[in-house]
């Protein structure tokens, strides 16, 4: 396949956050370009000037960057191309494939109401299709409409949906240019895709009807149509269209919920696409294996349990250094953490045990709170009940023993800590739990924490002994 014979694009409207469904479609489009050695382009469809915001544009760039999706040329802003869109509308007008429509807003309302009363879909009735304006229309506003085919059918040949047929008698003469001279979405998309050399359009199947209308514009212009892949929308666990009530919708929300970018990519890839029985798929393998024909025709259901499972896998696969960086980055954003070297060292030592039970980075952050709390640490009510006078006396003896036996931070290893505490428990003729519970209460301040040896090792010798002395009797 010649270089760049495949050109795909992602064309979001910056009127809100980057939706997780759009992110998945973007990922599919990006992967296909990368898998075929083609180009992936980014177009910001900001023609809705009232609703488009810089904040939303920034969120799109931020979300794509976080997911590791790059683009090959400078982003195109659709609003900057309005002159080109008007030029093409005038071209269609000159060729007879479009016409001026002087229908007033009141007339259009009457048309819609009459169609509804007749049990038909509301649409334009073509009254200006073959009608020449008179002198009285000289200064009246008009739109430019496509002179659409009225007979036969338009066939959208789709990599996902197969051949989808639309009767042309159901496709009305759509507006290309509004009365104020601004282009419509339908015209702008066709012109931009053509001028950008887009060969494959990957988008949600809610655009399938648009494809039939856009193909009529393409035909009128004598251009080649791109290949289409209309991807089924994501549904919630209940089978309904994925919405706010199902959970987080924006890419940025998932980042702040503690999901790793590579885990999110893996999950979105498998949400409607498959390659054998592979569940965990690296970015390299995704690029190697991806093909549009592997996209499922049925809607995929978003499953947070599966996402958590995939994310947990990627958390445990990270190096300690990389995971520490992820934790610190998110904790700074969510909790304004500003750790000193000692606190960072404790967190780093605790990561292997904290990550064992974590599904998200937020789980790790929540579990690590006790590591960075200044002494004397707060003790939860249930943990406080463990610190009886007998337990406090036991803590005092254990602290003295640990301090005497493990004299330096270099002596403070997991193996040495475990050996000493187990020996101490045996010497006191106590079950290990009777010793471990007051240690956990004094050092973590709560009932649940990583294993007690991991807690002491992560805190380090000086901090552990100090916390135990704070509670010793």
The phi and psi torsions of 428 (rounded to 5 degrees) equal: -90, 0
Give kind and range of the element (H or E) at residue 187: helix 185-195
Contacts 24+ apart (CB under 8 A), 379-385: 379/441, 379/442, 379/445, 379/446, 379/471, 380/445, 380/446, 380/447, 382/446, 382/447, 383/440, 383/441, 383/444, 383/445, 383/446, 383/447, 384/441
Residue 401: per-residue pLDDT: 96
Tell me the CATH number for domain 251-372: 1.10.1160.10
Tell whether the model's pLDDT for residue 1 goes beyond 60: no
Question: pLDDT-derived band of residue 49, with 50, 70 and 90 as boundaries?
Answer: confident
Which residue in this structure is represented by tokens 């406090």?
392
Question: pLDDT-derived band of residue 343, with 50, 70 and 90 as boundaries?
Answer: very high
Averaged pLDDT, 18-45: 96
Q: Which of 421, 420, 442 is nearest to 431 (CA)?
A: 421
Tell me which of 70 and 246 has the higher pLDDT.
Answer: 70
Which residue in this structure is represented by tokens 């007879």?
96
pLDDT above 70 covers what percent of the chain? 99
Question: pLDDT-derived band of residue 3, with 50, 70 and 90 as boundaries?
Answer: very low
pTM (predicted TM-score): 0.90
- What is the per-residue pLDDT across 50-64, written as a single tens digit (0 to 9) for each? 788 899 999 999 999
> Residues 75, 80, 85, 90: is their CA dihedral positive or negative?
negative
Tell whether the model's pLDDT for residue 248 goes beyond 70: no
DSSP 8-state secondary structure symbol assigned to residue 406? S
The number of beta carbons lying within 10 Å of the beta carbon of residue 366 is 14
Tell whether the model's pLDDT for residue 473 goes beyond 90: no
DSSP three-state, residue 131: coil
Residue 23: per-residue pLDDT: 95
- What is the per-residue pLDDT across 106-163, written as a single tens digit (0 to 9) for each? 988 888 888 888 888 888 888 888 888 877 777 789 999 999 998 999 999 999 999 9
Rg value, the chain, Cα: 32
Question: pLDDT-derived band of residue 246, with 50, 70 and 90 as boundaries?
Answer: confident
∠ at Cα 6 (3, 12), nearest 5°? 135
Residue 270: per-residue pLDDT: 95
- What is the per-residue pLDDT across 93-108, written as a single tens digit (0 to 9) for each? 999 999 999 988 898 8
Residue 156: per-residue pLDDT: 96
pLDDT above 90 covers what percent of the chain? 82
> Residues 438, 443, 447, 453: is their CA dihedral positive or negative?
negative
Averaged pLDDT, 152-177: 94
Which residue in this structure is represented by tokens 């002491």?
456
Which residue in this structure is represented by tokens 């980042």?
255
Given a contact cutoff of 8 angstroms between Cβ atoms, the answer to whether 77 and 44 are in contact is yes
Tell whether the model's pLDDT for residue 302 goes beyond 90: yes
Q: Which residues are designated catalytic?
A: 244
Averaged pLDDT, 321-341: 96
Residue 133: per-residue pLDDT: 80
Q: How far is CA 325 from CA 63, 252, 347, 414, in A?
A: 19, 18, 11, 24
Averaged pLDDT, 405-426: 96
- Of 9-23, 87-101, 255-269, least confident by mean pLDDT is 9-23
Q: Where in the chain is the domain with CATH 3.40.50.620?
A: 80-231
Residue 116: per-residue pLDDT: 86
The number of beta carbons lying within 10 Å of the beta carbon of residue 153 is 13
Residue 170: per-residue pLDDT: 86
Q: Where in the chain is the domain with CATH 1.10.10.350?
A: 381-471
Q: What is the DSSP string of 93-112?
A: HHHTSEEEE---HHHHHHHH
Q: Where in the chain is the domain with CATH 1.10.1160.10?
A: 251-372
Given a contact cutoff of 8 angstroms between Cβ atoms, the answer to whether 355 and 315 are in contact is yes
Cα separation, 307 vs 324, whole angstroms: 21
Given a contact cutoff of 8 angstroms between Cβ atoms, the answer to whether 339 and 372 are in contact is yes
Top-level CATH class of 80-231? alpha beta
Residue 273: per-residue pLDDT: 96
Cα separation, 175 vs 49, whole angstroms: 19
Averaged pLDDT, 368-389: 94
Residue 126: per-residue pLDDT: 81
Question: pLDDT-derived band of residue 4, with 50, 70 and 90 as boundaries?
Answer: low
Whether domain 381-471 has CATH 1.10.10.350: yes
Residue 288: per-residue pLDDT: 96
Given a contact cutoff of 8 angstroms between Cβ atoms, the answer to whether 354 and 331 are in contact is no
**Beta-bridge mates of residue 162:** 158
Query: Residue 366: which residues within 8 A CB-CB, separation 6 or more?
Result: none
Residue 15: per-residue pLDDT: 84
The number of beta carbons lying within 10 Å of the beta carbon of residue 119 is 6
Averaged pLDDT, 261-266: 97
Given a contact cutoff of 8 angstroms between Cβ atoms, the answer to whether 176 and 183 are in contact is yes
Cα-Cα end-to-end distance for the chain? 78
Q: What's the mean pLDDT when you consider all of the chain?
A: 93
Averaged pLDDT, 222-251: 87
Averaged pLDDT, 204-232: 96
Residue 111: per-residue pLDDT: 87
């Amino acid at each position: 396949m010649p270089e760049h014979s495949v050109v795909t694009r992602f064309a979001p409207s910056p009127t809100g956050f980057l939706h997780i469904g759009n992110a998945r479609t973007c990922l599919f489009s990006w992967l296909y370009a990368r898998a075929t050695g083609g180009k992936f382009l980014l177009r910001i469809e900001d023609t809705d000037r009232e609703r488009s915001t810089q904040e939303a544009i920034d969120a799109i760039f931020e979300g794509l960057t976080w997911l590791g999706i790059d683009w090959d040329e400078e982003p195109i802003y659709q609003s900057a191309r309005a002159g080109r869109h008007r030029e093409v509308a005038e071209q269609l007008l000159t060729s007879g494939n479009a016409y001026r429509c002087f229908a007033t807003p009141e007339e259009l309302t009457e048309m819609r109401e009459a169609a509804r009363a007749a049990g038909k879909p509301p649409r334009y009735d073509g009254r200006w299709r073959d009608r020449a304006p008179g002198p009285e229309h000289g200064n009246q506003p008009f739109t430019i409409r496509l002179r659409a085919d009225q007979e036969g059918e338009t066939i959208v040949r789709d990599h996902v949906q197969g051949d989808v047929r639309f009767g042309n008698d159901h496709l009305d003469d759509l507006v290309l240019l509004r009365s104020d001279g601004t282009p419509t979405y339908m015209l702008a998309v066709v012109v931009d895709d053509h001028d950008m050399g887009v060969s494959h359009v990957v988008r949600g199947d809610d655009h399938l009807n648009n494809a039939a209308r856009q193909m009529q514009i393409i035909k009128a212009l004598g251009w080649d149509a791109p290949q289409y892949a209309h991807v089924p929308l994501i549904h919630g666990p209940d089978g309904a269209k994925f919405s706010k009530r199902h959970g987080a919708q924006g890419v940025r929300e998932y980042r702040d919920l503690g999901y790793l970018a590579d885990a999110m990519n893996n999950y979105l890839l498998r949400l409607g696409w498959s390659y054998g029985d592979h569940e965990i798929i690296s970015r390299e393998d995704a690029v190697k294996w991806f093909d549009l024909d592997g996209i499922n025709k049925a809607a995929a259901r978003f499953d947070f349990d599966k996402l958590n499972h995939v994310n947990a896998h990627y958390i445990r696969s990270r190096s300690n250094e990389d995971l520490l960086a992820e934790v610190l980055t998110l904790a700074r954003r969510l909790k304004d953490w500003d750790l000193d070297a000692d606190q960072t060292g404790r967190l780093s030592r605790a990561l292997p045990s904290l990550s064992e039970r974590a599904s998200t980075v937020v789980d790790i952050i929540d579990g690590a709170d006790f590591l960075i709390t200044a002494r004397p640490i707060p003790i939860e009510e249930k943990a406080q009940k463990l610190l009886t006078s007998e337990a406090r006396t036991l803590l005092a003896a254990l602290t003295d023993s640990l301090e005497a036996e493990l004299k330096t931070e270099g002596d403070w290893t997991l193996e040495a800590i475990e050996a000493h505490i187990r020996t101490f428990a045996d010497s006191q003729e106590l079950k290990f739990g009777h010793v471990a519970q007051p240690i956990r209460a004094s050092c973590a301040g709560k009932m649940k924490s990583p294993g007690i040896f991991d807690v002491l090792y992560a805190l380090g010798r000086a901090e552990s002994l100090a916390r135990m002395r704070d509670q010793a009797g």
